[in-house]
Structure 1
Amino acid sequence: MPDATPEASTAGPTRPSVWTRPDRGGRGPQPEHSREAIAAAAVALADAGGLGAATMRAVAAALGTAAASLYRYLSSRDDLLDLMVDAVLAELPPEQPPGPDWLEDLVDLGRAQLDLHRRHPWLLEAGLRGTAVGPHGTDHIERCLRLMAPAGAGSAARMEAVALITGVVSLFARPAPVDTRALAPADLFAVASADRHPHLVAALTRPTPPGPRPDLFEHTLRSVLRGLLVEPG
């Protein structure tokens, strides 16, 4: 039975995954909506107005039903957020045969994750609360681990790498603060001095190498994955 407060959260280590329960409760009339339809309505609301717009009441209104009726399918809003995250993971490109370079395959998949976060900015906030891993999320993790297999790293290192891919994606998906985006390095580090901060000043004044600059996201992701998964030698 849901908490008396419609938007109450039951998130925590003992919260059962929505995917371990039947699609709807055993009582009441036949279901009018599927979990997929509920998730789609919630995603549309969050895309338009942020994660806070996807309340149980708003989702119910979008589906033309009462908020209480959603509790035939979900036990709390946490279940709703879990469904939303898993639903958008289905937008990742379909899996292709692995290419000749496992690292580039992972970078390409990381780029697809970044694009997904930019289409659905609320994923950043949803990721902070911790979501249960659903069917699409489980498939995605398996895909990452499969792509890493040629690197020869152990299971623990590969699971860490999966988490780090998400971390790098989240870092680059965050919008730049408006008040610092236009500042020149000299203004951003106005208190730096050559005697107290020689390395910082040298880095700020070093000429930019000629030629095209590497994509910072891809460069960062390659460096992180190579450092974690490739044995030196």
Structure 2
Amino acid sequence: MSSSIWNRPARGTRGPAPAHSRDEIVAAAMAMADSHGLGAVSMRAVASALNTGAGSLYRYLSSRDDLLDLMTDRAVDELRPYPEISGDWLDAMVRMARRQLQLYRAHPWLIDILPRPTAIGPAGLAWLDHCLAILRPVPAAPTAKFEAIAMMTGVTTLFARSEAAGPPAGFADIDMTAYPNLVAAFTAPPASAPRDLFEATVRGVLRGLLSEPPPP
């Protein structure tokens, strides 16, 4: 198995000097994903955008997976500067989650790229380290903190995916007489002050996982 992209030099040492840097390749791939989706990103397509041959990219990367790893970490680096660690830890983690949601809105392809198994890069490690710094006052085991961060990311991804999918299909053409509870829910008056469902969910997940001490 080849080593992680983070442990390999930015380009190979054999052959002529490459015309492009690894950073240029990643930037071109991200621009392509932003415009046309992750499926449009291939070694050949990125090479074409850089006016070079696909084979030349293999002086920098061993596979498309390397490219996806680099794209992910470059995007995660946009989470900086991190929200300040101040006040209540739960408030600070909600700010981190909101920053994540904004990132997914800017780069919708991250929703599809993050679930794949990958080696975490420097920016990802820095983000995780900052989350742990926020959670330092919380009297929970490190494993519980890692689980809470993962669940926060999962919730944020779910909301971003829902936003990208758009509103669900309506029920206008469905006979609802057999579903009285749905009818009652749909015809109930709206709340005077609708709550922020994203924040409420993130808070609920983090509070539930971290606020209660583990059983003896």
TM-score normalised over the length of structure 2: 0.88
Q: Residues 189 and 27 from structure 1, CA distance in 2 versus in 1: closer, same or farther, beyond 3 angstroms? A: farther
- Is 1:58 equivalent to 2:39 in the alignment? no
Deviation of 1:33 (Å): 2.1
Partner SS, residue 176 of structure 2: coil
User: Aligned ranges for residues 57-206 of structure 1 at < 5 Å?
Assistant: 57-174=44-161, 175=163, 177=165, 180-181=168-169, 183=170, 190=176, 193-194=179-180
- Quick check: 126-135 or 212-221, which moved more? 126-135
- Aligned-partner Cα distance in 1 for 2:166–2:100: 24
Aligned-pair distance for 1:180?
2.4
Cα distance change of structure 1 residues 172 and 60 upon mapping to structure 2, 3 Å threshold:
same
- For the Cα contact (< 8 Å) 2:138–2:210, is it kept in 1? yes
Q: By how many angstroms is 1:189 displaced?
A: 9.4
Q: Flag structure 1 segments of 5+ consecutive residues without an equivalent.
A: 1-13
- Deviation (angstroms), 1:148: 1.1
Deviation string, structure 1 residues 118-149 (Cα, Å, up to 9, x no partner): 11111111123233211101101111111111
Question: 2:206 aligned with 1:225, yes or no?
Answer: yes
Tell whether the 8 Å contact from 2:74 to 2:123 is kept in structure 1 after alignment. Answer: yes
Letter of the 1:86 counterpart: D
Q: 1:192 to 1:82 in 2, by over 3 A?
A: farther
- Contact 2:93–2:131 under 8 Å retained in 1: yes
CA displacement 1:2-52 (0-9 Å, x = unmatched): xxxxxxxxxxxx553111111112211223322211111100000000001
Report Cα offsets for 1:169-200 as digits up to 9, x if no partner.
1100013655725x26x978937545xxx6x6
Asked if structure 2 preserves the Cα contact closer than 8 Å seen for 1:93 and 1:112, the reply is no
Gaps of 5+ in 2: none
Name the CA distance, whole Å, in 2 between partners of 1:72 and 1:215. 48
Distance 2:168 2:126 in 1: 39
The question of 1:21 aligning with 2:8 is answered: yes
**Cα distance in 2 for residues equivalent to 1:189 and 1:139:** 52
8 Å contact kept, 2:108–2:164: no
Q: What is the number of residues matched between the two proteins? A: 213
User: C-alpha separation between the residues in 1 aligned to 2:137 and 2:23?
Assistant: 35
Distance across 1 between alignment mates of 2:31 and 2:90: 34
The alignment partner of 1:151 has SS state of coil
Q: 2:135 aligns to what SS in structure 1?
A: helix
Query: Residue deviations 1:62-96, cap 9 Å, x none?
Result: 22211000000100000000000101111113135
What is the CA distance between 1:208 and its match in structure 2? 4.1
How far apart, in 1, do the equivalents of 2:157 and 2:42 lie?
A: 23
1:180 maps to amino acid: P
The one-character-per-residue Cα deviations of 1:183-222 (angstroms, maximum 9, x if unpaired) are 26x978937545xxx6x67666655443x22211111001
Match of 2:195 in 1: 214
2:211 partner letter: V
